[in-house]
Amino acid sequence: GNRVKETVTVDEGLLDGLQHTMEPLLRFSGLTTTLKKGIIDLLKPFTICSKGDVLTPEQAKLLKLFQRPLAQFKIKVNLHWNKNNEKV
């Protein structure tokens, strides 16, 4: 449900990093794909999400699948425990 800050597209061509069993899922998600010798081939470029759109769960799955995370996880440490002197 977050707003997208950048447009993410996947270029046409062979998708070597994906298993052939993922091809039906990609096709169901709207990508125009075919299998060539067990390697997924994207027939035309596909835009996963556009800048300013609200991200859907399906788009988030595709972003994870193509290793294009849009979120950053940060932690700010306010306190820590010192085991030696047992102080915060």
- pLDDT digits over 59-77, tens only? 888 888 888 877 666 888 8
Does 1 have pLDDT greater than 70? Answer: no
pTM, rounded to two decimals: 0.67
Residue 44: its pLDDT value, please? 92
Which helix (H) or strand (E) covers residue 48, if one does?
A: strand 46-49
Given the candidates 3.90.105.20, 3.40.140.10, 3.30.420.10, 3.40.640.10, the CATH classification of the domain at 3-66 is 3.90.105.20
Q: Which amino acid, one-letter code, is at 62?
A: L
